[in-house]
Structure 1
Amino acid sequence: MTRLLFVHAHPDDETLATGVAILHHVERGDDVHVLTCTLGEEGEVIPSGLAHLEGAEGDPLAEHRRGELAGAVDALGVTSHLLGATAHGGHTAYRDSGMVGSAAFAHPRAFAGAELAEVAALVRSTIEEIDPDVVVTYDPQGGYGHPDHIRVHEAVRAALAQMPSAPMLFVTLTPRSWVGEDRVWLASHLPAGSPYAVPSPTDPIAPSVVDDALVTHAVIDPSVVGRQQEALRSHATQVVVGDGWFALSNDVASRLSGREGYAVMDPSTGEVLPGGAAGSAAGGDIARPGLLGARL
């Protein structure tokens, strides 16, 4: 049995960014944990009936999204942890920072503004408590540049770099060819008259989309998409779930393809390691299907 820890910034990130790998490993019988670093206080609320939570005094959205996270991790079948919750009455130590330049970004508890050493120490404490074989988080750009995602990446790397016997670090990356395939699929599968936009082949792509050769490992398991959709429905303030696709508050559809790309990273240097180095680091076992996927 392998123990894996997925580290994310906000509720819903665990299912959106790494839900396929999480469910794949749960179904293999592995011990899977999710560490969430904020409660997503700055999330944009989609349902009109819950719009009063967004930006309200006292951050009621935080408590609501904590409940959504509980539903999602229950559907995923994983153990959930909140960063610094023991010392903060069950809440996270930090607050959702919003985007750069927003009022939330200047909040005294903003996650992105916290001292990196302080955040890394909390992350390291959780890693040592769980003692995983593998830690998984965002790429250096945080998927799409969110400052909280970037801070998670930085803190995880700093924590692991300080550990004498650190677990292997995987970061999320998407092969460029998959994006083109997914956009074609969306164009042919969204219902006629759908209010959700389908990205065109020439629309911008996220920073985490890279040349296929840079993605050294993949989890490809379409059988888990139904359970991923179930988990996403728990995050009702943030996500609209369709049949094989989802949309966020920007009303742009994205495919739930049942596949995710990863690469092994050296936490000290930030260098993406070739497949051979990854296999060596795990006693040659990383190539077996299921342990964050076979090599591409």
Structure 2
Amino acid sequence: MERPDLRDGIPVDLDRPLRLVAVHAHPDDETLATGVALAHHAAAGDDVHVITCTLGEEGEVIPPGLAHLEGSEALGPHRSGEVARATAALGVTHHWLGGDLPRWRDSGMVGSAAAAHPRALAGADVEEVAAVLAEQLAALHPDVVLTYDPEGGYRHPDHVQTHRVTVAALARLAERHPEVPSPRLYVALTPRSWAEEDRRWLAEHVPAAARAEEGGRITVPDADDPYPPSVVDDGRVTHAVVDGAALPAQVAALREHPTQVTVHDGWFTLSNDVAARLPAREGYARWDRTAP
């Protein structure tokens, strides 16, 4: 199934480069969820921006040499440096939501004590956060905005909240800044056929010696294991960015997030040691700004 890219429907007579903004919850999400699209558009000469909502203070730390950062106040500033280097590798401009540093804080995974923090993003008033994001979007005048689907990719509370906030911010942008053309909103989704193909690829390419059943650490998902909610029926994915030339930039950016990501040959793992493919393609769905 061939899908149009993110330029679909954008006027071809723009007197400036296409402007694309990705809104994400934590450092590393920009590269994991939308890195192919960001690198692809940056290489094409487009004006590409990332807005990150929190410092990622609750992230689990992978390298033993950096284990002292986990759970400490030093992790957020460290991840700030990671995202600065990663976005530079992608060729895009980075911003924090709300100014020089984000006003809100990483809420942690579902059930985390961090969710009770008074600045936790997941517990913040959606309209309050959306008002801040809307002003940043008004200044950037994006043609395209990218973020998570309503399930937040894998139901992380901050990802779910970021979807809500982005939708609300675009509604506020249309109301308060009618002089700014309404951008097209896309959410990141993966066609089921792609996800099935990726699992077959992992089964063939992850070395046997690295696998948990052979004494290693890596888990390769079985074909019948549940998929995250961002994996959907093919017909729900309306647009795609497929670009093998963007993969080296995505890989370089992932390597700048060592606290969160371990990069292998064509695949990567997070702190859970579950293998995931780097397939040089991303799916998106055009999202109605009036939807939740």
Q: TM-score, normalised by structure 2?
A: 0.89
| Aligned residue in 2 for 1:237 | 259
- How many angstroms does 1:143 deviate by? 0.3
Match of 2:158 in 1: 148
Which of 133, 144, 158 is equivalent to 1:134? 144
CA distance in 1, matches of 2:32, 2:92: 15
Q: CA deviation at 1:52?
A: 0.6
CA contact 2:43–2:91 (8 Å) conserved in 1: no
Hey, what does 2:24 align to over in structure 1? 8
Runs of 4+ aligned residues of structure 1 deviating over 4 Å after TM superposition are none
- Corresponding residue for residue 262 of structure 1: 284
SS in structure 2 of the partner of residue 178 of structure 1: helix
Q: Are residues 1:191 and 2:221 paired?
A: no
Please give the residue correspondences for 1:1-296 in structure 2 after superposition, counting only pairs within 5 Å: 1-56=17-72, 59-85=73-99, 90-164=100-174, 165-194=181-210, 195-270=217-292
What do the CA deviations read for 1:190-225 (whole angstroms, capped 9, x no partner)? 123113111010111010110000101011112211
Structure 1 vs Structure 2 CA RMSD: 0.9
State the alpha-carbon separation in 1 of the partners of residues 259 and 116 from structure 2: 24
Residues 218-244 of structure 1, C-alpha deviation per residue, up to 9 Å, x if partnerless? 111122112211100000000000111
Deviations 1:176-203 (A, max 9, x none): 0111100110111112311311101011
One-letter amino acid matched to 1:179: A
Assess if the C-alpha contact under 8 Å between 1:38 and 1:96 holds in 2. yes
Task: Note if contact 1:187-1:198 (Cα within 8 Å) is conserved in structure 2.
Answer: yes
The separation in 1 between residues aligned to 2:62 and 2:110, in whole angstroms, is 22
User: How far off is 1:153 after superposition?
Assistant: 0.4
User: Identity percentage over the alignment?
Assistant: 61
Name structure 2 gaps, 5 residues minimum: 1-16, 175-180, 211-216
Contact 2:24 2:147 in 1 (8 A): yes
Task: List alignment gaps of at least 5 residues for structure 1.
Answer: 271-296
Structure 1 Cα separation of the partners of residues 160 and 109 of structure 2: 11
For 2:194 and 2:114, locate their aligned partners in 1 and report how far apart those are by CA, in whole Å: 34
Give, in whole Å, the separation in 2 of the partners of 1:162 and 1:99. 28
Please tell me the residue identity of whatever aligns with 2:83: L
The Cα of 1:14 is off from its aligned counterpart by 0.3
3-state SS, counterpart of residue 55 of structure 1: coil
For normalisation by structure 1, the TM-score amounts to 0.88
Cα distance in 2 between the residues matched to 1:146 and 1:61:
19
| CA distance in structure 2 between the aligned counterparts of 1:224 and 1:193, rounded to whole angstroms | 30
Q: Tell me by how many angstroms 1:162 deviates.
A: 2.2
